[in-house]
Structures are given as structure tokens and as C-alpha cells.
Amino acid sequence: MKFWDWYLKISIFSAFIGGSMELFMIKSGFYEKVTVLEAEKRAWESTPEALAMREALNPWRHRDGGGGGED
């Protein structure tokens, strides 16, 4: 392999950067915040208001589902 030392340096550097990012997210409480936000989002999505909004914004709601062409 011609550039094995270059690949080794890149892989070590990439692992260091990735590990540093993960450590920062753990220490800053990122995962706890995201968990709370995701739980709030899922709770809101199951409300009648959210279901009505989703249905109102559905671009396929006026289709009959027959799959036919135009008349």
C-alpha cells in the first residue's frame, strides 16, 4: 500500500475529532436536551390539533385514490 502512513494519520485524526465531539456533547448535556425535545415533539404530534394540521397540509387529500388518469 503506497500511502498507508497518510491513511493512518487521517484515521487517527478523524477518530480524535469524533471522540472530542462526543465528549463535548456528553459533558454539555446535549443528549438530555434532545431527549426532552423529542418527547415534547412526539407528545404534540399525537394531539388532535397536530393531526388536523397534518391532514390539512397533506397535498394528496383531494385525490380519490383510484389511480386513474385525467378525464
Average pLDDT per block of 10 residues along the chain, 71 residues long: 89 97 96 95 91 86 60 41
- When divided into structural domains, the chain yields a total of 1
Residue 44 lies in a domain: yes
* pLDDT tens column, 55-69: 888 888 777 665 544
**Cα 23 to chain center, whole Å?**
20
At residue 57, the pLDDT reads 87
In a domain, 27, yes or no: yes
pLDDT for the residue 67: 53
Cβ–Cβ under 8 Å, residues 50 and 44: yes
Domain contains 1: no
- Match 387529500 to its residue by C-alpha cell: 61
Q: Is residue 8, in this structure, part of any structural domain at all? A: no
Q: Could you report how far apart the first and last alpha carbons of the chain are, in Å?
A: 65
Q: Give φ, ψ of 64 to 5 degrees.
A: -85, -15
